[in-house]
Amino acid sequence: MPFDWGGNVSDDIVRAQWNRVRGRLRDEFGEATFKSWLNPLTLAEVRNGQVRICVPTRFLRDWVVTHYGDRIRSLWSKEDASINAIDIVVLPTAGLKQANGGGVATAAAAPMVAARSVPAPVAATPDPANANDEIGAPLDPRYTFDNFVVGKPNEFAYAAARRVAESEVVSFNPLFLYGGVGLGKTHLMHAVAWHIRERDPKRSVIYLSAEKFMYRFVRALRYQDTMAFKEQFRSVDVLMIDDVQFIGGKDSTQEEFFHTFNSLVDQGRQIIISADKSPSDLQGMEERLRSRLGCGLVADIHATTYELRLGILEAKAEQMGVEVPRKVAEFLAHKILSNVRELEGALNRVVAHAQLVGRDITLESTQEVLHDLLRSNDRRITIEEIQKKVAEHFNIRIADMHSARRARQVARPRQVAMYLAKQLTSRSLPEIGRKFGGRDHTTVMHAVKKIEELRSLDSGFAEDVELLRRMLES
């Protein structure tokens, strides 16, 4: 056995925990960052509250410790509360060498360069007033209503969450929040929990991920302790389960979830659910559970708009107490389209860099710091895709994107496509021109200006363009 977890924790559990931690890291920092910095990490051992992780080089170790160490530790301690330190050590050959029988000796016998620990924060003790933390997951103190920026794409979900948080009686059950990754579902759920805990600490609110719910259920099954499991959940006032799409396909968990759900609803308890899809689109979910989930209030969070992204950047910059030039915020809002998490990540990187080198944030430094991210964002949307979608939308032939025809009914869609190409990719004007039948860069520039002008004059047209943008981004 190559790993030694020590104590009585089984291999599989630790491996599953590590996989979840990796999954979260990937979600939070994005694919590109994950690949370059976090993927090379391998788990060595877990023992006495300490997780030991190996990296292949010293440079990588230092980078990971400073940038991701705290996060890795806090994710691990969410998985396993007894973990209080993460040791990141250099092991030149990636992966693990087996020395002599395992245990500490395995790790010690490997050619390691001095480890650097990420110490636990001082105030890590859980709030004793909240016994529910044991079943639920801890709440992120940043995820409050005050810190949530409201805009068109999320105003409905926000209003629904607020209503649930503020009302004494159960208004709609369940509240089902859905939307793409990184758009604020978890943030809203935590905000509801914070609000209720603050206003009425006696009410018991439990927040947990569907994965954790499943994990606990499976464990209860194993220890033949499902009664206690049910009791825990059945005595809560508000139950929030995040990312229920993960429950799909697991029959016994679905069954248990369904029963817990029904009994809570029958007792007039509030339930809040989130998922990445609407109830009717949830895959692998039993029909009766699906329809049950959809019978309260279903609120979706749409992809961000430019205005919301700008608002979020401004709010975050203010929270961090840094001066971000308007031009830089506009640039980021134009370029980072995927989701709020990536947007935040990009801003953090720009700010961290400026602080590190002791210079002001400029457009140039921003482009430099984010070049990898900007490139990977570009890869998502190609000019060809834009041409195809726009042609479909306006019902013209794709060939007309390249043709010399100037009739309004083809020229306008072509301009829209050029405009979107400028907005959604980082291709230069001449490059874009070339892709549109070898047009000059001034033609592209003119198109961009024209569409901007039309957008501000004609709200119907502006919506059309926005819709296209959303379709391309999704």
Write out the residues near Mg ion by the rule CB under 5 A: 185-186
First to last CA, the chain: 43
Closer Cβ to Mg ion, 155 or 276, answer by number: 276
- Report the site for ligand ADP in 342-401 (rule: CB under 6 A): 344
Taking alpha carbons only, the member of 269, 261, 280, 259 closest to residue 164 is: 269
**Among 73, 341, 389, 422, which residue interacts with ligand ADP (rule: CB under 6 A)?**
341
The only residue of 340, 386, 391, 421 in contact with ligand ADP, by rule CB under 6 A:
340
- Verify binding: residue 312, ligand ADP, rule CB under 6 A: yes
* Segment contacting ligand ADP by CB under 6 A, of 2-10, 93-101, 125-133, 340-348: 340-348
| Angle between helix 408-424 and helix 459-473 axes, rounded to 10 deg | 50
Between the alpha carbon of residue 364 and those of residues 144, 324, 350, 431, the distances in Å are 33, 13, 11, 21
Token pair, residue 82, equals: 């007894």
Q: Which is nearer to ligand ADP, 147 or 171 (CB)?
A: 147
Q: Listing from the earlier edge strand, what are the strands of the sheet with 50-55?
A: 42-47, 50-55, 85-90, 113-118
154 near ligand ADP, rule: CB under 6 A: yes
**Residue 385 belongs to what H/E stretch?**
helix 383-394
Q: Which does 340 bind (CB under 5 to 8 A by kind): Mg ion, ligand ADP, none?
A: ligand ADP
State the minimum distance, in angstroms, from the CB of residue 29 to ligand ADP: 12
Do residues 384 and 390 lie in contact, with contact meaning Cβ atoms separated by under 8 Å? no
Taking the least distance from each CB to ligand ADP, the nearer of 52 and 309 is: 309
Nearest Cα residue to 385 out of 342, 440, 425? 425
284 vs 282: CA distance, rounded Å: 7
State the binding string over 255-294 for ligand ADP (x if CB under 6 A, else -): ----------------------------------------
Of 18 and 143, which CB lies nearer to ligand ADP in the complex structure? Answer: 143
CB atoms within 10 A of CB 288: 11
**Total binding residues toward ligand ADP, as defined by CB under 6 A:** 17
List the one residue from 18, 148, 246, 436 that touches ligand ADP (CB under 6 A).
148
Q: Where are the alpha helices (DSSP H) in 395-440?
A: 399-402, 408-424, 429-435
Q: Which stretch binds ligand ADP (CB under 6 A): 46-54, 81-89, 290-298, 339-347?
A: 339-347
Site for ligand ADP in 169-208 (CB under 6 A): 179, 181-187
Q: Where are the alpha helices (DSSP H) in 6-47?
A: 11-33
Contact 247, 285 (CB under 8 A): yes
From the list 149, 386, 391, 418, which residue makes contact with ligand ADP (rule: CB under 6 A)? 149
- Residue 106 or residue 377: which is nearer to ligand ADP going by CB? 377
Question: Which is closer to ligand ADP, CB of 54 or CB of 75?
Answer: 75
Helix (H) / strand (E) containing 387: helix 383-394
DSSP of 147-205, one letter per residue?
TPPP-GGGHHHHHHHHHHHH-SS--SSSEEEEESTTSSHHHHHHHHHHHHHHH-TTS-E
- Nearest residue to 419 via CA among 407, 438, 433, 405: 433
What minimum distance in Å lies between the beta carbon of 239 and Mg ion?
Answer: 16
Q: CB 18 → ligand ADP: shortest distance, Å?
A: 21
344 binds, among Mg ion, ligand ADP, none (CB under 5 to 8 A by kind): ligand ADP
Calculate the CA 121 to chain-centre distance: 24
CB nearer to Mg ion: pick between 312 and 374: 312
Smallest distance, Mg ion to C-beta of residue 182, A: 8
Q: Cβ closer to Mg ion: 3 or 178?
A: 178
- Return residues touching ligand ADP (CB under 6 A): 143, 147-149, 154, 179, 181-187, 312, 340-341, 344
